[in-house]
Amino acid sequence: MKVTALAGGVGAARFLEGLIQAVPQDDVTVISNTGDDEEFFGLHVSPDIDIVIYTLAGAIDREKGWGLHGETYTALSALARFGYDTWFNLGDADMATHAHRTQMLRAGAALSDATRSIAAAFGLRITMLPVTDDRMRTLVDTDAGTLAFQEYFVKRRTADDVRAVRFEGADAARPAPGVLSAIAAADAVIIAPSNPVVSIGPLLAVAGVRDALRETRAPVAAISPIVGGRTIKGPADRMMAALGMRPDAAGIAAAYAGFLDVLVIDEQDAALASDVAATGVRPVIAQTVMRGPDEKRALAETVLRAVQ
C-alpha cells in the first residue's frame, strides 16, 4: 500500500514514526513544509525536513522534538563572539546537515536533491520531498509587525497576536518533482497532525497541490492536531482562533473541506463528531495522543483502516 503523507515538524514526525512501523519505508512518501526554512550564518536550514529525518532515523533529541540527540553547541557559542544573534539553537552536528545542504544548493542542486541525500545519509528508505524547490517563506503579520516564521516561533516564542499568515513566494512556487505524482498515485494520502495554518498551509499554497488532493483517487485522511480544544504542541489553537477558524477538530475538518474524506479525532472530542460530519468529512474517533511506540503504531493502523 503506497502512502503519501503531508507533514509539518514535530507532531508529524511522531505520527510518521508509527506509520513506518505499519507500512514498509519504501512505500512511504513524505511531502514536507519548507515555509519555515531560514538562512542562519549563510546556512540553509530546513527545520521541518530535518525534524522528520532525524526522528525517523532515531537521531532526534526526543525531549526537544528537534535537533540531534546528544548535541553540543560549541560553534554557536563561538559565533556569539563575533556579535551574531544566536537565538536559533543550531547544534554542532546539526550544522553539518545545513552545511551539506547549502553546499549542494550552491553547486546547483535542488532542495529535493539535498533532501534525498540527507535522508539517505541518515539511513532512511522513505521518499522525502520538499513541497517545492523554489523559495517560499511563511510570514506572520502580528501586532508587532511582520515576522519571519522562526522569528515569530522561536525568537519571540509565539507571544505576538497574529493578524494574518502569508506564504511569500508561494504564487510562483512550483511543486518539487514527484510531489503531484505522489499524491495522484498513492493508495492513501494522510495529512499528519500538524498546524493547518503554518505547517500544512504552505503545502496547499503551492500551485497544483490542492487540485491534486481533490483529484486523487486515493482517500485523503487527516489526524486532528487539536485535542480537547488545545494543541498538543505549538500555537495552532490560538492561531486558528485569531484567524477566525474554529480552534477544534471541526475547524480542522473545515480547513481541509473540499478534499478531505476522513478526519481522525480524539476520544475526548467525540462530541464534535457531528460537527465534523456536517462539513462532509467522515469522523473516526480514536486515541490520538501518542506517548510511546505502541500508541504511535496503533494510531497509524487506525488511520490506515479508516481509508481502506
Residue 153, interface with ligand FO1 (CB under 6 A)? yes
**Angle 145-148-149 from CA coordinates, rounded to 5°:** 115
Residue type, 79: L
Q: How far is the CB of 50 from ligand FO1 (least distance, A)?
A: 4
Should residue 17 be labelled a site residue for ligand FO1 when binding is judged by CB under 6 A? no
Judged by beta carbon, residue 36 or residue 237, the one nearer ligand FO1 is: 36
- Is position 48 an interface residue for ligand FO1 (rule: CB under 6 A)? yes
* Nearest residue to 88 via CA among 142, 143, 47: 47
Residue 289 buriedness (CB in 10 A; 0-12 / 13-18 / 19+): middle
Query: Which CB atom, from 30 or from 250, has the smaller least distance to ligand FO1?
Result: 30
Q: From the CB of 236, what's the least distance to ligand FO1, in Å?
A: 11
Q: Which one, 67 or 201, has the nearer CB to ligand FO1?
A: 67
Which amino acid, residue 142?
Answer: T
Smallest gap from Cβ 115 to ligand FO1, in A, equals: 13
67 near ligand FO1 (CB under 6 A): yes
Q: Which is nearer to ligand FO1, 62 or 217 (CB)?
A: 62
Which residues, listed in sequence order, are joined to residue 31 by a DSSP beta bridge?
Answer: 6, 129
β-pair partners for 276? none
Residue type, position 219, single letter: P
What is the arrangement of strands in the sheet containing 188-191, beginning at the earlier edge strand?
Answer: 127-130, 28-32, 3-7, 188-191, 220-223, 262-266, 282-286
Strand partners, 264: 223, 284
Q: Compute how many other C-beta atoms are within 10 angstroms of the C-beta atom of residue 99.
A: 14
Cα(105)–Cα(257) distance, integer angstroms: 36
Confirm or reject binding of residue 196 to ligand FO1 (CB under 6 A).
no
Contact 22, 301 (CB under 8 A): yes
Residue 52: CA count within 13 A, CB half-sphere: 36
Query: Does 200 help bind ligand FO1 (rule: CB under 6 A)?
Result: no
Closer CB to ligand FO1, 156 or 282, in the complex: 156
Q: Which stretch binds ligand FO1 (CB under 6 A): 44-52, 159-167, 221-229, 278-286?
A: 44-52
Amino acid identity for residue 155 in this structure: K
Per-residue binding string, ligand FO1, 112-151, x by CB under 6 A, is --------------------------------------x-
Q: How far is the CB of 97 from ligand FO1 (least distance, A)?
A: 8
Nearer to ligand FO1 (CB atom), residue 97 or residue 216: 97
Q: Which spans of this chain sit near ligand FO1 (rule: CB under 6 A)?
A: 8-10, 36, 45, 47-48, 50-51, 66-67, 88-90, 94, 150, 153-154
